[in-house]
Amino acid sequence: MKTDSNPNHRKPCSIFVTFTLGILLGSCASYGPYHANTAAEPTKSVRGPTDGRYKMAFIEFGDQGSPLDNSQRKAALEVIHQAQRPLLFVYIHGWQNNATSGDVCRFEHFLDMVSSFPEFTGRKINVIGVYIAWRGKDLTFPGLNLLTFWSRKSTGGGIAAANSCLASIEELAVAAHEPGKDYHHTVLLGHSFGALVLGNTISHSILGANGEGGRSSSAWDMAVAFNSADSSITTRQLMSELDYLYRYDPQRRAYVSRGNLGEETTAVSENRPALVFLQSENDSATGQFFPIGQEVIKSTNLHFHWQKVPVPGHHGEKVSESEFYTHTPGNSKYLVNYHVVPLGETGAPPGLRATENRAFEANIKQNHPDFSFYTSEHNDGHERTFCRNGEYSPGAVHPPTGKEIWRRWKFEYTGNARIPCWVVRVPKDIIWGHGGLWSDNSVAMFGALFRMEFPLGPGGIVAPPKPRTAPKSPDLQQLTLDKHAAN
């Protein structure tokens, strides 16, 4: 065979390959850590305003789930140990974000807002945020970053399966609950692939068994996943396990043990679900593109045979697991069990003192026995202006928008498994699209969930939440009776 020895004949291809590789290599995002502590700055990974009303700490992880700087976790723990009344928010970001992206700014604004409300300042609450960071984007060249969806999804799944992320979350939550603190709440938040990490990580702690035939209690109090970009296979498994352990008692408005109906310590009040999935109705990323991508992966992997698995809450009904593989939890018709429904326009309740996101204050000030709540703004993205070039200024004045529109909504059970795990469809007026979790209306809705989880007692005092302990496994006879009753 005759070969072409003229290098000029291969030059265009070589130039193209070299150029393409150069773009890819030059567009790789840094592995970090971005907030490494040093001998000169031992607490560089912690920041906040000079008056100390909130603190925000970073804990960064690599692609294999290993912490990039263990001193970051130690610094975050020190902040929690020093707080007498900690309100801890642990947030895991999603796709296209990292430890320096705009999501950092939006989370910090959330902490700033919460710490500024009279309901928290009056009780001398120590607002603490921990930003769990990973490489949610690994290419920075415009356009190419869209090609990283599946690689970043795989990385998120790997981090969730590794040990360090769960260990960090558990240690932070335990520190917030240590003896001597007269107020302590730990709230876990996750978005997109961060919700994937959150859901998969804490599912293990929800269902972990102890040595006494029961289940271990979780150190954290509340977990909310926004627009989860995970397949619903693991969520279906979690919901099936909870359906196996609990039944809903309408008289008590609580989830009670199937194994021992007198097991009071494991009864879960209806307003305290272990995990809440919030899904925007107009999220095209998880609602449209995710199923297409999953179908492509199924075809390329030649995965055509699927096991049929039980549908939670539908005793006897089985569906191909492919159905759950191609849909996220909030887009699965077999898992969604709550909707946010409109109750109409209304006026602002009296006695509000806030100027920014007044519906958040309205929802925090009162209990919600009927699961209704307020929003007060047009969902037009105005909150994005709070961040300038990715930087946030604590204490900056954010005047009223002048475009308030007060509305009431309600979390309403709409079918499927009635268990302490809510999968909720949310109108676009509250969460717009995939990245709208930090909008004023979304934060206001979260305020209502927070107050439902931690209701006000006599005199407006919030008692420390009781540990959430899952019940023992049901006996066979009781389980059979429950199934026949449901059918």
Cα separation, 377 vs 213, whole angstroms: 49
Which amino acid, residue 336? Answer: V
Tell me if residue 449 falls in helix, strand or coil: helix
Token pair for residue 398? Answer: 């954010």
Backbone angles phi, psi at 40, to 5 degrees: -75, -35
Token pair for residue 361? Answer: 């204050």
The pLDDT confidence band at residue 305, using thresholds 50, 70 and 90, is confident
Cα separation, 260 vs 281, whole angstroms: 38
Give the count of alpha carbons within 13 A of 370, CB side only. 8
Cα separation, 164 vs 46, whole angstroms: 20
Beta bridge partners of 88: 128, 186
Tell me if residue 436 falls in helix, strand or coil: helix
Q: Cβ of 17: how many Cβ atoms within 10 Å?
A: 10
Cα separation, 483 vs 350, whole angstroms: 48
8 or 246, which is more confident?
Answer: 246
Position 348 pLDDT exceeds 50 = yes
Q: Is the separation of the CB atoms in 170 and 202 below 8 Å?
A: no
Token pair for residue 226? Answer: 């926004």
The model's pLDDT over 382-417, given as tens digits with 9 standing for 90+, comes to: 887 778 766 788 877 777 788 899 999 999 999 999
pLDDT attached to residue 468: 62
Pairing of strands 126-133, 86-92: parallel
pLDDT attached to residue 144: 54
Most confident of 274-278, 294-298, 353-357: 274-278
pLDDT attached to residue 15: 42
Position 359 pLDDT exceeds 80 = yes
User: Residue 207 to residues 203, 217, 472: CA-CA distances in angstroms?
Assistant: 6, 9, 10
Cα separation, 300 vs 212, whole angstroms: 46
Token pair for residue 336? Answer: 């969604």
Q: Cβ of 287: how many Cβ atoms within 10 Å?
A: 19
In whole angstroms, what separates CA 469 from the centre of its chain? 21
pLDDT attached to residue 173: 93
Q: Which of 416, 447, 418, 455 is nearest to 430 (CA)?
A: 447
pLDDT > 90 fraction of the chain, expressed in percent and rounded: 53
pLDDT attached to residue 16: 37
Cis status, amide bond into 33, omega within 30 of 0? yes
Position 136 pLDDT exceeds 80 = no
95-106: average pLDDT: 89
Which amino acid, residue 166? Answer: L
Cα separation, 356 vs 401, whole angstroms: 8
Position 63 pLDDT exceeds 70 = yes
Helix (H) or strand (E) holding 460: none
pTM of the model: 0.88
